[in-house]
């Protein structure tokens, strides 16, 4: 799940305004982009890489793809995702928001069948500071991302950026940033991201940036005992009223399930230190690392 500089990356929608802009940023940072997809411009080049009619054609020509990033509108997202999955892409970063629910279910079913890791939908992407990034996170901003040993998991790209900024200001760098996305049906859960960082030798401690809605933070709390690394968490939405959606489509609370109180209590019971504000994360990390 953690992106490395040697991984081959395909950009679906590379010739669009956003696809072209972010592809150039990824390349400048060190991401190994090997090709792009746009059926209408197949046979051309964009960002100095070949453009193919499909992900399947790209994989056949290039000999396999480690990761694909989707700059694809919601109406076309299902077909683009299944194209990449059936082409054997190992990991798919789905940036697209507002994909119809039935299409998301089709994507996840195809991914399970073919063994593809989905990150998203509605993710800002993943970053390995000093190596590579895939998506729309400002990895190139040294005030936000710096190589280090703190792994960060976030459902929110903007909130994750703030947390990473605070970490760098406090002298901490990141081993990896895993933006799992804000959709109600995510391909990668908090606990799966937690286990990826648990297995990562470069990660010394982990920050979980959660929010109200769903049960992913509670499920991750149950896995904390086996992690063996300090975990600090911030949960957004403490003051939100029950039953009201706040921001992400997945951030809706019904009764106590998915509530701030439930998430905080479960994480603390599991051994994580939960802070009240993002600005407290760095101090909490220092304390947790001192105890480790």
Identify whether residues 177 and 271 lie together within a single domain: yes
Residue 179 lies in a domain: yes
Residues spanned by the domain of 147: 141-291
Identify whether residues 103 and 189 lie together within a single domain: no
The CATH number of whichever domain residue 145 belongs to comes to 3.40.50.261
Residue 242: how many CA atoms within 13 Å on its side-chain side?
A: 8
Identify whether residues 155 and 41 lie together within a single domain: no
Q: Is 152 left (phi over 0), alpha (psi -120 to 50) or beta?
A: beta
Identify whether residues 97 and 55 lie together within a single domain: yes
pLDDT for 247: 54
Residue that has been written with the tokens 């746009």 in this structure = 38
CA–CA dist 271, 122 (Å, integer): 29
Please tell me which residue in 7, 98, 108, 248 is annotated as part of the active site.
248
Residue 136 lies in a domain: no
**Over the stretch 135-152, which tens digit does the pLDDT of each residue have?**
999 999 999 999 999 999
Identify whether residues 110 and 219 lie together within a single domain: no
pLDDT for 255: 53
Nearest to 195 by CA among 167, 169, 231: 231
The CATH number of whichever domain residue 114 belongs to comes to 3.40.50.720
Q: Which regions in the chain score pLDDT beneath 70?
A: 239-257
- The answer to whether 248 is a known catalytic residue is yes
Identify whether residues 46 and 179 lie together within a single domain: no
Q: How many domains does the chain have?
A: 2
Instruction: Report residue 139 as tokens.
Output: 């990895």
Identify whether residues 160 and 286 lie together within a single domain: yes
**Over the stretch 81-136, which tens digit does the pLDDT of each residue have?**
999 999 999 999 999 999 999 999 999 999 999 999 999 999 999 999 999 999 99
Identify whether residues 115 and 149 lie together within a single domain: no
Nearest to 136 by CA among 119, 115, 111: 119
Residue that has been written with the tokens 């073919």 in this structure = 114
Residue 90 lies in a domain: yes
């Amino acid at each position: 799940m953690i992106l490395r500089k040697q991984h081959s990356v395909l950009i679906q929608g590379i010739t669009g305004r956003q696809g072209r802009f972010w592809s150039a940023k990824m390349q400048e940072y060190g991401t190994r982009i090997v090709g792009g997809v746009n059926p209408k411009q197949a046979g051309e080049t964009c960002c100095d890489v070949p453009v193919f009619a499909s992900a399947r054609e790209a994989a056949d020509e290039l000999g396999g793809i480690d990761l694909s990033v989707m700059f694809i509108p919601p109406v076309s997202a299902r077909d683009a995702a299944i194209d990449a999955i059936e082409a054997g892409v190992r990991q798919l970063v789905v940036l697209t928001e507002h994909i119809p629910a039935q299409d998301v279910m089709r994507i996840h079913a195809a991914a399970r069948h073919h063994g593809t890791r989905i990150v998203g939908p509605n993710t800002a992407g993943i970053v390995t500071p000093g190596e590579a990034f895939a998506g729309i996170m400002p990895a190139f901003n040294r005030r936000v991302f710096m190589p280090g040993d703190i792994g960060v998991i976030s459902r929110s790209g903007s909130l994750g950026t703030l947390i990473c900024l605070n970490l760098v200001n406090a002298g901490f760098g990141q081993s990896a940033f895993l933006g799992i996305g804000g959709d109600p049906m995510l391909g990668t859960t908090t606990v799966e991201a937690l286990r990826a960082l648990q297995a990562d030798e470069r990660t010394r401690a982990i920050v979980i940036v959660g929010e109200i809605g769903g049960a992913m933070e509670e499920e991750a709390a149950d896995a904390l005992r086996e992690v063996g690394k300090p975990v600090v968490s911030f949960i957004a939405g403490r003051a939100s009223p029950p039953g009201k959606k706040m921001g992400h489509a997945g951030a809706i609370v019904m009764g106590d399930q998915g509530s701030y109180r439930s998430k905080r209590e479960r994480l603390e019971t599991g051994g994580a230190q939960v802070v009240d504000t993002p600005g407290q994360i760095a101090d909490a990390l220092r304390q947790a690392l001192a105890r480790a």
